[in-house]
Chains A and B, each alone.
Chain A
Amino acid sequence: MLKIDKLTAHYDAAQALFGVSLEIAAGETVALVGANGAGKSTLLKCLMGLVKPTGGSILLDGKPVAGKSPVQMVRLGLALSPEGREVFGSLSVEENLQLGAVSLRLAKGEEAIRREEVFARFPKLKERRTQLAGTLSGGEQQMLAMGRALMAGPRLLLLDEPSLGLAPLITDEIFAIIHQLARAGRTILLVEQNAARALSGSDRAYLLSNGTIVEQGQSSRLLTDPALRAAFLGAASHENPAASRLGAAGLTNIRLEKSAMHPQNFMTNLSSAAALREHQLKGLKWTVQHAFEGSSFYRQHLENAGISPAQIATLDDLQRLPLTGADDLRQGYPFPLRAVPFEQIVRIHASSGTTGKRKVLCYTQKDIDDWTHFFARCYQMAGVTPLDRVQIAVGYGVWTAGLGFQLGCEKLGALAVPVGPGNIDMQIQFLLDFQSTVFCSTASMALLMAEEIHARGLADKIAINKIIYGSERSSRAMRQKISELFGGAELFDITGLTELYGPGTGIECPAHDCIHYWADYYLLEILDPETLQPLPEGEWGEMVITSLAKEAAPLIRYRTRDITRIIPGPCRCGCLLPRHSRIRGRSDDTIKFRGVNIYPSSIDTILSAVSGLGSEYQIHLTRDRAGRDHMRLLIERASGVDVGRTPELVHEAGHQIKKQLMVSAELELVDYATLPRSERKSRRVFDSRLQGEIV
């Protein structure tokens, strides 16, 4: 009855149909299936005369009809139920139906007969015959649209997406009616996105993609063709849920439910601030006594300061104690601050030694047990359970990280995958094979892994939902990037110091607001790095630590050179232990530039706020012949950002730096991933100016 031959159609400059050919015989139900924008509606509009085709022909019973007006097409026997129903909202159901046949100029009697037929087929419409069409529900409107089309007594009924926006139950009803119409002998061209429905309700089908027919044939065959099922029924394809993108996006991942095992609790059982302070005072008294008695260094140091253990009566007396620092550790090499006899020492750990001689700390068994205990607390706070699989990508051997993470993990009862650092291929292999759920590393390593995972397109195949990272500062942009590329993982910053056991002395709170530190194991003071006076709560200053239970190498007012601030007040997450902010930098990390002190972390924060920049950056400081300092900032464009945006990004970044730091820096924007990433800590500041002191 209908033959379309190599039809082309354009919308202004855009071509929508590229030579489409199809045929419909009388009495058939033909389905036209395709994705959004494939051209289905365009084809129907060409048939109805709403759009003029730019090429090809449409033959109805052998006569060409392309380009005729819609009124003529209706008179020739075509009727359309448009996409989105398009009922006349301010007219009643009856009036809408009347309009369906208005161009045919039927006799009144004929019109009434047809109307009754429509009402017979759609009883719901009959109930609402005087109701305004705009107040009908979606399904009822669809019925009205179809009824209106039927009023024209068409030889060919065109249905454009009848199931669009309708609930499954109503769609059933509609398709049942379509089925009835087909059985009654109507010729129907059914256009649908819902391939399953369309194919089950038609005799033959055409698959339209990007304006061309890609497949055609018997509907029953197409319905069972597996390749076609996969292409069009995607998410509804129940055979292989992982193949559906939703499943692949990790939504059907291994869901770790709380096990029936009684979970251990590593949180402190001190229930009030007063109880904590009492505990701390006991610990302080013990530490001072223990250090005085066991370590010749401390005895000397305390005597020089004119203070003895008996004089420690309240927590305020802490300030009377003398400060210690990294130099004291270096001088005591290889067993600095030792306060117990050798037979009690079971282990030593050392720091990386990037700034001079290595710092070596020794541990008694109790020290190790304490450390393991509060490291498990870190895992607990991050929500890790015995069902988790923790892939540990930090340095083992003499560094504290590896053993710290591992023992804490085992204590909690989770599965440890002790891979160690580097070896990206193996890391990824293990992520896939073991389906690790927690990843531990430095921030730089995490970024490296994230980018590799993204490059290999594996985000949907891994199961990481938490990342615990430490020993390095990271910017907000970097964290966001890591989280995104890992498929939406949660990040936890873990703090720690080789001098104070190792990593695990505190961890980011589940509300991601702050870092809770274990105040039952050490006291934290914030002092002004210049005057060494205590600062009021909330101000940025240097962290000074006093251990409360450390045996082999106790710490008394040890200057860490890390800058942070205490966050006063209770935390959203409910934990009672006090908190501090993420480490802003080291006190010797500051860049002095043209009289202004700048923390690299400030630059982090500023760059994070510019949308479209990547998370890596480099600061190059130089001095020219005239003795003037210059700062050159290398920043990266975020991945996927167009090159054309460069000038704007540079303008904005420069403006922000000028506004907030009051320095003019020369900015250079490079492509994403051009700046080096490292597995350990990334070096970002390159200062080639001559310095007065030797670093």
Chain B
Amino acid sequence: MTDRQKFLYFIALHRTGLWVTALSLLLLVFPLVENNPYTLGLTNLIAIHAIVVLGLNLFIGYAGQISLGHAAFFGLGAYGSAIACVTFGLDSWLAMLLVAGLVALVALLVGIPALRLTGHYLAMATLGLNFVFHTILLQWDQVTGGPSGFYGIPSLSLGSFAFDDELRLHYLLWGLALLSLLLCLNLVRSGVGRGLSALAGDEIAAAALGVDTRRAKVKVFVLSAVLASVAGSLFAHTYGFISPDSFGIFVSTDLVIMVVIGGMGSIWGSLFGAALITLLPEWMDLFETYKDFVHGGILVLVLMFLPQGLITGLLDLLRVQLARLRQKNVTA
């Protein structure tokens, strides 16, 4: 094999790792280029959303299921961390882990019965879950602070080094987001990931090939819940203040929109979807009142014209055009 061949093979073999490294480098130098704390604050929010969307994309895009209630897990992570740190005085990192574990348990208990349902029924069940959770947040005000929210959540810190400004948070949050990205990319490229794709494609065929469909669905559900929980904890520690508004059913639908825009089944697309929807309010000032309208509109448009999602849809179009060009060259 020539050296050139060896080099190309190396690139092909490690292409995922190389792309992630490239993105990491980009994000490493980003604050040097753009150090406006407001902008960094936005990108930090994108990172948090990205973590949730990655997990949700695995559930919706790869396993082919539907969840309209993931904000509940996001909220459980946020409120769980808040309560654990403020009310019980636990260390923030420990709290994050414990809460994630608790959320995993909840997801398991909810998932096992709920995932026997499919399609519309599952959507309704998850919606119901979110609704219940939101109501608890509002009513159980001794614990959650009720409608006025929960104050005083401490920042994350490593010893005396506190992640309390946007710059430090940039590195922490994006570090964790990139880690989640890598883990999800790995999952998707593995045999287990293929099993999930098979599950989305045709459940009967997947079962006939040896995929334990019930278990797989629950596993992915729990995974996406855990990711949402971690993101929620990070959210709480980043802003120091959380309120029930941030965890209602419209937030759940926003998350689904992020998944769809990015492309169902596209892990990289999740980043794009999270970024676009997070940044949208910034670009459209008179937007606030009509936020849901615009979100809904985007969702409808994307589903009408590019049902696989924005990124995947555009990529497919590109591929088709290229194929047509190639054919023309061949026949010409």
Q: Would you give the 0/1 interface string for A627-663, flagging 1 where the beta carbon is closer than 8 Å to chain B?
A: 0000000000000000000111011000000000000
Whether A646 pairs with B324 at a CB distance below 8 angstroms is no
Q: Would you give the 0/1 interface string for B1-30, flagging 1 where the beta carbon is closer than 8 Å to chain A?
A: 100011011001100000000000000000
| B5: A residues at CB distance < 8 A | 646-647
B315 within 8 A of partner (CB): no
Whether B324 pairs with A13 at a CB distance below 8 angstroms is yes
Whether B6 pairs with A647 at a CB distance below 8 angstroms is yes
Q: Interface size on B (CB < 8 Å)? A: 12
The residue that A13 contacts in the complex, of B1, B6, B9, B320, with Cβ under 8 A, is B320
The residue that B1 contacts in the complex, of A12, A15, A647, with Cβ under 8 A, is A647
**Nearest-neighbor residue (CB-CB) of A650 within chain B:** B1
| B9: A residues at CB distance < 8 A | 647-648, 651
User: What distance in Å separates the Cβ of A182 from its nearest Cβ neighbour in chain B?
Assistant: 39
A669 within 8 A of partner (CB): yes
| B6: A residues at CB distance < 8 A | 647
**Nearest-neighbor residue (CB-CB) of B317 within chain A:** A12
The residue that B323 contacts in the complex, of A13, A647, A651, A668, with Cβ under 8 A, is A13
Size range of the chain A interface in the assembly: 10 to 19
| B12: A residues at CB distance < 8 A | 647
Report Cα–Cα, A650/B8, bound state, in Å: 14
| A650: B residues at CB distance < 8 A | 1
User: What distance in Å separates the Cβ of B115 from its nearest Cβ neighbour in chain A?
Assistant: 24
B160 within 8 A of partner (CB): no
Report Cα–Cα, A651/B12, bound state, in Å: 13
Whether B1 pairs with A646 at a CB distance below 8 angstroms is yes
| B320: A residues at CB distance < 8 A | 12-13
| A669: B residues at CB distance < 8 A | 1
B142 within 8 A of partner (CB): no
| A651: B residues at CB distance < 8 A | 9, 13
B327 within 8 A of partner (CB): yes
User: What distance in Å separates the Cβ of B28 from its nearest Cβ neighbour in chain A?
Assistant: 31
Report Cα–Cα, A647/B9, bound state, in Å: 6
Chain A interface SS verdict (over half): mixed
Report Cα–Cα, A300/B194, bound state, in Å: 73
Report Cα–Cα, A658/B327, bound state, in Å: 44
Complex interface residues of chain A between 2 and 42 (CB less than 8 A to chain B): 12-15
Complex interface residues of chain B between 290 and 332 (CB less than 8 A to chain A): 320-321, 323-324, 327
| A646: B residues at CB distance < 8 A | 1, 5
**Nearest-neighbor residue (CB-CB) of B324 within chain A:** A13
The residue that B327 contacts in the complex, of A13, A647, A648, with Cβ under 8 A, is A13
Report Cα–Cα, A668/B5, bound state, in Å: 13
Report Cα–Cα, A662/B165, bound state, in Å: 53
Report Cα–Cα, A15/B324, bound state, in Å: 10
Report Cα–Cα, A646/B5, bound state, in Å: 9
Report Cα–Cα, A15/B326, bound state, in Å: 13
| B327: A residues at CB distance < 8 A | 13-15
Q: Would you give the 0/1 interface string for A439-455, flagging 1 where the beta carbon is closer than 8 Å to chain B?
A: 00000000000000000
**Nearest-neighbor residue (CB-CB) of B10 within chain A:** A647
User: What distance in Å separates the Cβ of B327 from its nearest Cβ neighbour in chain A?
Assistant: 6
**Nearest-neighbor residue (CB-CB) of A12 within chain B:** B320
Report Cα–Cα, A668/B1, bound state, in Å: 7
Complex interface residues of chain A between 665 and 686 (CB less than 8 A to chain B): 668-669
| B1: A residues at CB distance < 8 A | 646-647, 650, 668-669
User: What distance in Å separates the Cβ of A610 from its nearest Cβ neighbour in chain B?
Assistant: 16
**Nearest-neighbor residue (CB-CB) of A647 within chain B:** B9
| B324: A residues at CB distance < 8 A | 12-13
Report Cα–Cα, A669/B2, bound state, in Å: 11
Report Cα–Cα, A14/B319, bound state, in Å: 12
User: What distance in Å separates the Cβ of B13 from its nearest Cβ neighbour in chain A?
Assistant: 8
User: What distance in Å separates the Cβ of A196 from its nearest Cβ neighbour in chain B?
Assistant: 34
| B323: A residues at CB distance < 8 A | 12-13
Report Cα–Cα, A650/B1, bound state, in Å: 9
User: What distance in Å separates the Cβ of B323 from its nearest Cβ neighbour in chain A?
Assistant: 4
Report Cα–Cα, A651/B5, bound state, in Å: 12
**Nearest-neighbor residue (CB-CB) of B6 within chain A:** A647
| A12: B residues at CB distance < 8 A | 320, 323-324
User: What distance in Å separates the Cβ of A650 from its nearest Cβ neighbour in chain B?
Assistant: 6
**Nearest-neighbor residue (CB-CB) of A10 within chain B:** B324
User: What distance in Å separates the Cβ of A263 from its nearest Cβ neighbour in chain B?
Assistant: 45
**Nearest-neighbor residue (CB-CB) of B323 within chain A:** A13
**Nearest-neighbor residue (CB-CB) of B327 within chain A:** A13
Report Cα–Cα, A648/B324, bound state, in Å: 30
| B8: A residues at CB distance < 8 A | 647
Report Cα–Cα, A9/B12, bound state, in Å: 37
**Nearest-neighbor residue (CB-CB) of B331 within chain A:** A15
Report Cα–Cα, A14/B321, bound state, in Å: 11
Complex interface residues of chain A between 172 and 200 (CB less than 8 A to chain B): none
| A668: B residues at CB distance < 8 A | 1
User: What distance in Å separates the Cβ of B26 from its nearest Cβ neighbour in chain A?
Assistant: 29
Report Cα–Cα, A603/B13, bound state, in Å: 26
Report Cα–Cα, A13/B5, bound state, in Å: 31
User: What distance in Å separates the Cβ of B312 from its nearest Cβ neighbour in chain A?
Assistant: 15
Report Cα–Cα, A648/B9, bound state, in Å: 8
Report Cα–Cα, A646/B324, bound state, in Å: 29
Report Cα–Cα, A638/B323, bound state, in Å: 30
Q: Would you give the 0/1 interface string for A215-243, flagging 1 where the beta carbon is closer than 8 Å to chain B?
A: 00000000000000000000000000000
**Nearest-neighbor residue (CB-CB) of B325 within chain A:** A13
Report Cα–Cα, A636/B21, bound state, in Å: 36
User: What distance in Å separates the Cβ of A513 from its nearest Cβ neighbour in chain B?
Assistant: 28
User: What distance in Å separates the Cβ of B189 from its nearest Cβ neighbour in chain A?
Assistant: 15
Report Cα–Cα, A651/B10, bound state, in Å: 10
**A13, A14, A669: most-surrounded residue (chain B CB, <10 A):** A13
User: What distance in Å separates the Cβ of B158 from its nearest Cβ neighbour in chain A?
Assistant: 40
Report Cα–Cα, A14/B326, bound state, in Å: 11
Report Cα–Cα, A13/B329, bound state, in Å: 12
| A648: B residues at CB distance < 8 A | 9
User: What distance in Å separates the Cβ of B190 from its nearest Cβ neighbour in chain A?
Assistant: 17
Report Cα–Cα, A15/B6, bound state, in Å: 37
| A13: B residues at CB distance < 8 A | 320-321, 323-324, 327
Report Cα–Cα, A647/B12, bound state, in Å: 10
Report Cα–Cα, A646/B8, bound state, in Å: 12
Report Cα–Cα, A14/B13, bound state, in Å: 31
Report Cα–Cα, A647/B320, bound state, in Å: 28
Report Cα–Cα, A403/B327, bound state, in Å: 62
User: What distance in Å separates the Cβ of A671 from its nearest Cβ neighbour in chain B?
Assistant: 13
Report Cα–Cα, A646/B327, bound state, in Å: 27
| A15: B residues at CB distance < 8 A | 327
Report Cα–Cα, A442/B330, bound state, in Å: 48
User: What distance in Å separates the Cβ of B70 from its nearest Cβ neighbour in chain A?
Assistant: 32
User: What distance in Å separates the Cβ of A17 from its nearest Cβ neighbour in chain B?
Assistant: 15
User: What distance in Å separates the Cβ of B325 from its nearest Cβ neighbour in chain A?
Assistant: 9
| B13: A residues at CB distance < 8 A | 651
**Nearest-neighbor residue (CB-CB) of A15 within chain B:** B327
Report Cα–Cα, A646/B4, bound state, in Å: 13
Report Cα–Cα, A469/B60, bound state, in Å: 58
Q: Would you give the 0/1 interface string for A527-540, flagging 1 where the beta carbon is closer than 8 Å to chain B?
A: 00000000000000
Q: A646-B5, A651-B13 are in contact. List 13 more A-B contacts (CB 8 A).
A: A12-B323, A12-B324, A13-B321, A13-B323, A13-B324, A13-B327, A14-B327, A15-B327, A647-B6, A647-B8, A647-B12, A650-B1, A651-B9
* Subset of 6 A-B contacts with CB under 8 Å: A12-B324, A646-B1, A647-B12, A650-B1, A651-B9, A669-B1
Which 8 pairs, one residue from A and one from B, show the smallest C-beta to C-beta distance? A647-B9, A13-B323, A13-B324, A12-B320, A13-B320, A13-B327, A650-B1, A647-B5
Interface residues of A (CB under 8 A from B): 12-15, 646-648, 650-651, 668-669
Interface residues of B (CB under 8 A from A): 1, 5-6, 8-9, 12-13, 320-321, 323-324, 327
